């Protein structure tokens, strides 16, 4: 099966990025390839979004942590032991009457990692570096999710404000018409008051919508500053169907999930730490060389030293604690996998269900719009009263607001899949 879909003017060929895609193969569906794509037209462009995401404080913090992890890997590669130089001098006095003598001693020593500890430390450093890289990717992913939600909230608030602006025009027209009809003796004061009350209510709702839009813009600007948001930043696009085979989306998201990767790398780190603690039960020896001059140089001594700490209860308990932490990390991987599986299933269900709800909402809006137009025409001809017009217009407004929210929900569910699958905003580079 070959699928092709379009998201607000942007095409995406969807295939299994990860082989094998078990569910797709079981159904006889050949895997396809997920590829990066341009951002949909109603979202920030890839370049703009990447700049906003990279400047996010959470991402900056993770990037600094990555730099620190590089230095930490260098530390572990070099090891904690350094050369220790020692020197001493003394003066020997003889009570026998012999001439006093100056004496000195110098030494050089260093502990040595044995039992494969140097290799384990090097692997630990590399693992911690991968962990920091994964956390940077997850920070960018979370920032992208937040940018998506805040951006769509602004578009939704802007669209809601437009709907109320349209209603304001209708309400003003009805109020003027009611006044004219009353002056002509065709309408009562009750009808004119109803039109005035409706106009005031629409004005109130419009003011509330403007306030909500200002709040949405302020939150987006504060979270991703500096972000110019003057005027209409974009128009909500048309929701489209996702690829029928959700199993391939599942495989892709599982493959690129940084949260799951973090849990797996933390398990590797715990296993290496346990191996290191086990190796450390045999303490590292300290080797040294020293030279001594005594009796005014009459005696010269050169020797080697070897010292080994004798491990005991502490090292044993440390090793057991590290082994227990492996079980903790293994359980964390299972928990992260199940949570991710649940989230993916919910996202795929939302993507399908929200699209269907939007289609029904659009049908309801179209029917309500036709009914409102007919009622308005009948009111102009004097066939219905103002209450009938107001009722039809409220039904249209409710349907339009519902269709707008359904559109936002469908787009958000669809775009969330694109972000989680790392297909837009440079996420595939993480």
Res 345 pLDDT > 80: yes
Nearest to 426 by CA among 50, 43, 63, 7: 50
Domain boundaries, the chain: 4-82+116-282+313-429
Model confidence at 186: pLDDT above 90: no
- Look at residue 394 and tell me whether its pLDDT is greater than 70: yes
Q: 38 near 10, Cβ under 8 Å?
A: yes
Say if residue 19's pLDDT is above 60: no
Would the pLDDT of 5 be above 60? no
Q: How many Cβ atoms sit within 10 Å of the Cβ of residue 225?
A: 10
Average pLDDT for residues 120-128, to the nearest whole number?
97
pLDDT at 294: 85
Q: How confident is the model at residue 13 (pLDDT cuts 50, 70, 90)?
A: very low
Please give the pLDDT value at position 430.
64
Least confident of 200-209, 233-242, 338-347: 233-242
With a cut of 60, say whether residue 21 has pLDDT above it: no
Q: What is the mean pLDDT of residues 308-337?
A: 95
pLDDT one-digit tens code per residue, 262-285: 999 999 999 999 999 999 999 999
What mean pLDDT is reported for the chain?
87
- Three-state secondary-structure class, residue 110: strand
| Share above pLDDT 90 across residues of the chain, in percent, rounded to a whole number | 68
Give pLDDT, residue 14: 30
Q: What are phi and psi of 97, to 5 degrees?
A: 100, -5
Structure tokens of 360? 């029904």
Q: Which pTM does this prediction carry?
A: 0.83
Q: Which of 181-195, 289-303, 396-410 has the lowest mean pLDDT?
A: 181-195
User: What is the full DSSP assignment across 39-92?
Assistant: PPTTS--HHHHHHHHHTSHHHHHHHHHHHHHHHHHHHHHH-S---EEEEEEEEE
Overall CATH class of domain 4-82+116-282+313-429:
mainly alpha
Name 184's Cβ contacts closer than 8 Å, sequence gap at least 6. Answer: none
């Amino acid at each position: 099966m070959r699928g092709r879909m379009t998201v607000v003017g942007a095409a995406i060929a969807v295939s299994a990025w990860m082989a094998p895609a078990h569910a797709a193969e079981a159904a006889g569906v050949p895997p396809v390839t997920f590829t990066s794509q341009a951002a949909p037209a109603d979202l920030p462009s890839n370049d703009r979004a990447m700049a906003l995401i990279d400047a996010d404080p959470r991402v900056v913090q993770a990037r600094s942590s990555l730099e620190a992890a590089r230095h930490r890997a260098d530390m572990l590669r070099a090891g904690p032991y350094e050369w220790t130089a020692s020197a001493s001098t003394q003066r020997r006095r003889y009570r026998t009457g012999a001439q006093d003598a100056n004496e000195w001693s110098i030494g050089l020593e260093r502990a040595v990692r044995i039992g494969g500890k140097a290799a384990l430390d090097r692997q630990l450093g590399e693992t911690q570096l991968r962990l920091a890289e994964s956390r940077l990717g997850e920070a960018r992913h979370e920032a992208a999710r937040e940018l998506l939600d805040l951006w769509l909230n602004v578009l939704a608030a802007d669209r809601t404000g437009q709907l109320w602006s349209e209603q304001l025009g209708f309400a003003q027209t009805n109020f003027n018409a009611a006044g004219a009809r009353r002056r002509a003796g065709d309408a009562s004061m009750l009808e004119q008051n109803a039109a005035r009350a409706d106009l005031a209510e629409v004005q109130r709702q419009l003011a509330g919508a403007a306030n909500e839009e200002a709040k949405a813009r302020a939150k987006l600007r504060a979270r991703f500053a500096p972000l110019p948001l003057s005027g209409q930043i974009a128009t909500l696009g048309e929701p489209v169907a996702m690829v029928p085979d959700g199993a391939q989306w599942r495989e892709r998201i599982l493959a690129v999930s940084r949260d799951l990767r973090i849990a797996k790398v933390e398990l590797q780190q715990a296993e290496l730490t346990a191996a290191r603690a086990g190796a450390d039960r045999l303490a590292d020896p300290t080797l040294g060389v020293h030279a001594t001059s005594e009796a005014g140089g009459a005696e010269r001594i050169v020797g080697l030293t070897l010292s080994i700490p004798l491990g005991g209860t502490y090292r044993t308990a440390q090793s057991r604690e590290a082994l227990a932490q492996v079980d903790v990390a293994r359980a964390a991987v299972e928990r992260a996998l199940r949570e991710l599986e649940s989230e993916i299933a919910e996202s795929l269900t939302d993507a399908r269900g929200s699209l269907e709800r939007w289609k029904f909402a659009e049908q309801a809006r179209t029917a309500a719009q036709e009914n409102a137009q007919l009622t308005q025409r009948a009111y102009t001809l004097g066939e219905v009263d103002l209450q009938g017009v107001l009722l039809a217009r409220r039904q249209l407004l409710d349907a339009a607001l519902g269709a707008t929210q359904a559109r936002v929900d469908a787009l958000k569910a669809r775009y969330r899949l694109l972000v989680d699958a790392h297909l837009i905003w440079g996420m595939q580079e993480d």
